[in-house]
Amino acid sequence: AELMSRHTTFRIGGPADFFLVPENADEIKKIIAVCKEKNVPYFILGNGSNLLVSDKGYQGVVVQLYRNFGQIRVEDSRIHAQAGALLSGIAAAAREASLTGFEFAGGIPGTLGGAVVMNAGAYGGEMKDVLLSADVLTADLEVKTIPVEELDLSYRHSIVPEKGYIVLGGKLQLKKGNEQEIRERMAELAQQRREKQPLQYPSAGSTFKRPEGYFAGKLIDDAGLRGFQVGGAQVSEKHCGFVINTGNATAKDVTTLMSDVQRIVMEKFGVKLEPEVKFLGEF
């Protein structure tokens, strides 16, 4: 059993029964085939940057696609990357090749696979602006290339989960640019991120989705919840949209804090906050 607190940016989570790190598409296919045949639940993990794992852990197989499955290849103005490639690594490769359009993603702490699944975005850019196609393993264990139009990418949404796809990689279309300008833009965004976000604490990024017409962080702040704490979990004083782990937070601390925040924001402003963070295991 492998502790999931070692594999999430929240640094929270009990043991997974099985933790597998495949190195190619065939190995992934075999693992999923066995799980389906034996009716064992499985979960595809990137670098765990948007995930809260239960204190009890996960009764099943965690398949991690990360550095083991993270190749990046630049071809003219296109970049091919495997699902485990970090967005920061892809952004650096784009910069080195003087390709512009991916600067927004340089500071998003996720893998390409996770970014496709939730159409990750920041600073006015999102995956759907640059993605050409995704390579997926279908529910029938076939490898298919799906053009971006068919992925139905919108705010924090794609068809990947409902179709039971596993993202194996993707192709990005960028534009030729000026390396110096790309470098400066990335540095500027990194600076903004450091100023506004509590990067020194473990967290899963923005905890709640942006409600229509509002900003989650501002609602939480206006509800008087800046610094609000349950056990080791806290609404960040630096950015109220982030729930941070101040030290020994449990998953229970985080979920209790989240439901308190949801309840109070609902009472004060009548706005329903939906979690952006994903949950794994029993809660």
Collapsing DSSP states into helix, strand and coil, what is residue 54?
Answer: coil
- On the CB side of 200, CA atoms within 13 Å amount to 4
Per DSSP, 105 falls in state G
Beta strand pairing call for 72-75 and 99-100: unpaired
CA distances for 78 relative to 114, 127, 144, 149, 171, angstroms: 20, 14, 19, 17, 7
Check if the beta carbon of residue 28 is closer than 8 Å to that of residue 267. Answer: no
Q: Is 88 a catalytic residue?
A: no
Structure tokens belonging to residue 204: 């899963």
Helices (H) and strands (E) in the chain, counts: 8, 19
Q: From the candidates 78, 156, 193, 210, which is the catalytic residue?
A: 156
- Please name which of 278, 218, 223 lies closest in space to residue 254, comparing C-alpha atoms: 278
Location of structure tokens 């967290």: 203
Q: Is 156 a catalytic residue?
A: yes
Q: From the candidates 158, 203, 206, 236, which is the catalytic residue?
A: 206
Collapsing DSSP states into helix, strand and coil, what is residue 243?
Answer: strand
Q: Is 154 a catalytic residue?
A: no
In 123-270, the DSSP E strands lie at 125-126, 131-137, 143-147, 166-173, 175-176, 203-206, 229-230, 233-235, 242-245
Which positions are catalytic?
Answer: 156, 206, 276
